[in-house]
Chains A and B, each alone.
Chain A
């Protein structure tokens, strides 16, 4: 009798525990698979047919296989079947996304190696600066023209020497030519820099979440040739909002500017990017 009691109690314990397991209803085949499970299974077939997935994301592929199998043999009710199907769909998408990310990263590394072999590398921006022909020239304000002599002479261009006057002795004494004004930065519009700043970025350059707008990102990209002109100079990023300054810092690093060149500082009314210190060729 004691053995019988023990056996029945043990059986009761087993039954109570098993009833909480999804395995039970699955074994009994109570719940039908969610329609999403069939779509996930179809996507999985495509994944399995792609050798890149097995090579680049084998663990994710295995997880997708398990998830799809679980979704095709669900249990625990319709809501649980839908949950399993959702998980399966996501696992399949994750495997695909991991494969794509790996492919793009490999292509990126190959291009970096090619860039290095062409003489680029960490100083690729500086390398480009050594050959300014390929860079878009900064917008330069034309030098103040000299008083026009009777024989009209074309205004001098920034890259050519001023032409000689035909009869210098008959001309009034030309005033001392004004020194060529500092060239304007390449960026125009609301981002124009003044007072020695390379770039000024008002609050409108950032979103409510303290991220750069696409226009601001483009303006930073256009600033790169100016930064490359002095490859050893430190760059100071100043701004009233720490999140804005950090966003600019991060974007410049993403563009390839070495971290050691960048310094952040709090202050000012708008984010300002300038070379740090007087000696820009340090």
Chain B
């Protein structure tokens, strides 16, 4: 005896179909444009607190410009543009932060290199006559 599908009203199939398609389009972001802008603003504030601007001012300036443009797009009822610009701001801030860290690592390396050079120099110097 072959199985048969139950006879359901047309509308009963609508919700499952929509849900199936939404799952298939999982790439669509779930963060609202306002949330994306807020996240970027928070990241920018964090970067400023950690002196990122000392090391990479142009990229951070670019991030601020993107964030300002995102605010404008949101006010102009352009949510897709606003979300995209917030993402661009976020990426700029991330890049500036990493480049600042790279610069700090370089500065630390040079600082310790100077200490190593001094210690090596001390270890090679002959002891001064009569000095303790």
Which A residues are closer than 8 A to B by beta carbons?
2, 5-6, 9-10, 13-14, 17-18, 20-23, 76, 79-80, 83, 86-87, 90-91, 93-94, 97-98, 100-101, 104-105, 107-108, 111-112, 114-115, 118-120, 124, 127-128, 131, 133-134, 209, 211, 254-256
19 new A-B pairs (CB below 8 Å) besides A6-B13, A115-B116, A134-B122? Answer: A2-B9, A9-B10, A9-B11, A9-B13, A10-B14, A10-B17, A13-B17, A18-B21, A22-B27, A79-B84, A80-B80, A83-B87, A90-B88, A101-B101, A104-B102, A108-B105, A111-B109, A111-B116, A128-B118
Say whether B4 faces chain A, with CB atoms less than 8 Å apart.
Answer: no
B108's nearest neighbour on chain A, judged by CB, is A108
| Interface pairs (25), CB distance under 8 Å | A6-B13, A10-B13, A13-B14, A13-B17, A14-B21, A17-B22, A17-B25, A76-B80, A79-B84, A80-B84, A83-B84, A83-B88, A86-B88, A90-B95, A94-B95, A101-B99, A108-B105, A118-B123, A120-B115, A120-B119, A124-B119, A128-B119, A133-B125, A133-B128, A134-B121
B88 close to A87 (CB less than 8 A): yes
For B77, the chain A residues whose CB sits under 8 A away are none
A86's nearest neighbour on chain B, judged by CB, is B88
B14 to chain A, nearest CB (A): 6
A112 close to B10 (CB less than 8 A): no
For A98, the chain B residues whose CB sits under 8 A away are 98
B39 to chain A, nearest CB (A): 15
B121 to chain A, nearest CB (A): 6
Say whether B112 faces chain A, with CB atoms less than 8 Å apart.
Answer: yes
B98's nearest neighbour on chain A, judged by CB, is A97
For A127, the chain B residues whose CB sits under 8 A away are 119
B84 close to A124 (CB less than 8 A): no
B94's nearest neighbour on chain A, judged by CB, is A94
How many Å lie between the Cα of A26 and that of B33 in the bound state?
Answer: 22
How many Å lie between the Cα of A23 and that of B112 in the bound state?
Answer: 52
Max count, chain A CB within 10 A of own CB: residue among B99, B102, B125:
B102
B87 close to A87 (CB less than 8 A): yes
Q: Is the interface of B mostly helix, strand, loop or mixed?
A: helix
A105 close to B105 (CB less than 8 A): yes
For B108, the chain A residues whose CB sits under 8 A away are 104, 108, 254
How many Å lie between the Cα of A112 and that of B108 in the bound state?
Answer: 10
Which of A80, A90, A124, A131 is close to B115, meaning CB atoms less than 8 Å apart?
A124
For A91, the chain B residues whose CB sits under 8 A away are 91
For A22, the chain B residues whose CB sits under 8 A away are 27
How many Å lie between the Cα of A146 and that of B95 in the bound state?
Answer: 65
Within residues 95 to 115 of chain B, which ones have a CB less than 8 A from any CB in chain A? 95, 98-99, 101-102, 105-106, 108-109, 111-113, 115
How many Å lie between the Cα of A87 and that of B29 in the bound state?
Answer: 15
A22's nearest neighbour on chain B, judged by CB, is B27
Say whether B61 faces chain A, with CB atoms less than 8 Å apart.
Answer: no
For A6, the chain B residues whose CB sits under 8 A away are 10, 13
For A80, the chain B residues whose CB sits under 8 A away are 80, 84
Whether A104 touches B116, Cβ cut-off 8 Å, given contacts A86-B88, A87-B91, is: no
A100's nearest neighbour on chain B, judged by CB, is B102
For B120, the chain A residues whose CB sits under 8 A away are 118
B92 close to A111 (CB less than 8 A): no
A79 close to B98 (CB less than 8 A): no
